[in-house]
Amino acid sequence: MSALEGNIDRIYAKFCRKLNMFMEQMYDAKSGLDKTFGAFNRVLRPGPLSGRRNEEVVRNRGNALAELQRNITDFRDDVVQQFEKNIARIATFLGIPTAPDEFDMNSPYRLRFDALFYRSRLIVLEESLRMLVALKDIRQTSQHTLLMTEGMRSMTISEAQVHLAALQNTIAECRSKDMKRLEAEFHLIQLCFHIVLKDAGVMSELEVDASLHKIWDLCHTYPDSAGLLANTYAAMKDHIRDVRRHTDLYSSRNVWWSWPRHTTGDLQHCKYGHPFSGTMWDSCLECGREVRKLATMDPNKLLKENDFVAAIKTQTLNGKSWRV
């Protein structure tokens, strides 16, 4: 391993630890919001003079993730994106004698930080909807509070619409880079924004059935990468079809928790150039093994979905045991 490769390995290890740290902070913040929701409800005041006081408590909750989100976007834009853009140029500039392909890296890190950013916005928008329900229940509410709730509702809806549309490009980017797991992950995030809009009483432009089918297809065809999200897919589908409502739709954390366990010196690259930890994974986490496609891929007719999810779980159990 050249000195540059060794440095790249250490940099990726650092990115992985950062992802994990931000994720942990994000779920701590979310669990803080859940735990304090009862107290928030109790401090909301009825009556015409309560507007400013209510606004203050709403704003405090709305800003609970603001600093963390800034840290995520700063690190993504100032460090990860710059690194991904410049590393090949640096290798050439330094005249490092390596095959050009080695630095033609198809790095998934900026996209992983994008996923983190979208997750944090989801938590904020879901919290906003939950607060709106509580605010609606206030007796003799003030004009001030009424205006605030209208503003909150409209901002929540427009932000969810913006992210839902932007994710279309992110999904296309994953597809062009053969990142199957991230592609499925962004589809799931997009469905979460669709649910936000649905809960706000607004239609979204997302073609839900096509999106669910796409995720199913990805999980089925790439069981070692996209397939890791099969349980989340099943929960999402139940939630959307009102079979069973889940409060924590996006709990596929095992992959995220695995990243800091990488031991430097064991960085591998798959055939598409995605880096992955040889310490933790048998194959690339973003593309992985492709199973043969069957002629008819109708999840409703071909295979019952519960059986499908169980089958995927069994397949992943054959890998390293901590991954499920």
Per CB under 5 A, residues contacting Zn ion are 270, 272, 274, 284, 286-287
Of 239 and 274, CB closest to Zn ion: 274
Angle formed by the axes of helices 180-199 and 143-176, to 10°? 160
Q: What's the min distance (Å) between Cβ of 287 and Zn ion?
A: 3
Q: What's the min distance (Å) between Cβ of 274 and Zn ion?
A: 3
CA distances from 90 to 7, 103, 110 (A): 12, 10, 18
Separation CA 76–CA 19 (nearest Å): 10
Is 278 in a helix, a strand, or coil?
Answer: coil
Of 59 and 272, CB closest to Zn ion: 272
Residue where the block lists tokens 């991904």? 84
Separation CA 296–CA 293 (nearest Å): 8
Q: What's the min distance (Å) between Cβ of 231 and Zn ion?
A: 22
CA distances from 161 to 26, 70, 156, 265 (A): 22, 21, 9, 43
Q: What's the min distance (Å) between Cβ of 320 and Zn ion?
A: 17
Residue where the block lists tokens 């009483």? 201
Asked if residues 73 and 102 have their Cβ atoms less than 8 Å apart, the reply is no
For the chain, give percent helix, strand, coil, nearest 5. 70, 0, 30
Q: What's the min distance (Å) between Cβ of 69 and Zn ion?
A: 29
Of 91 and 270, CB closest to Zn ion: 270
Q: What's the min distance (Å) between Cβ of 145 and Zn ion?
A: 51
Question: Which of 169, 161, 162, 80 has the alpha carbon at shortest distance from 116?
Answer: 80
Q: What's the min distance (Å) between Cβ of 85 and Zn ion?
A: 20
Strand-pairing partners, residue 314, are none
Find the length of the chain: 324
Cβ-closest position to Zn ion = 284
Of 253 and 289, CB closest to Zn ion: 289
Of 16 and 235, CB closest to Zn ion: 16
CA distances from 126 to 2, 122, 157 (A): 47, 6, 11
Q: What's the min distance (Å) between Cβ of 289 and Zn ion?
A: 10
Of 214 and 269, CB closest to Zn ion: 269
Q: Look up residue 286 and give its DSSP letter.
A: S
Q: Look up residue 318 and give its DSSP letter.
A: T
Of 174 and 197, CB closest to Zn ion: 174
Of 157 and 284, CB closest to Zn ion: 284
Separation CA 38–CA 260 (nearest Å): 35
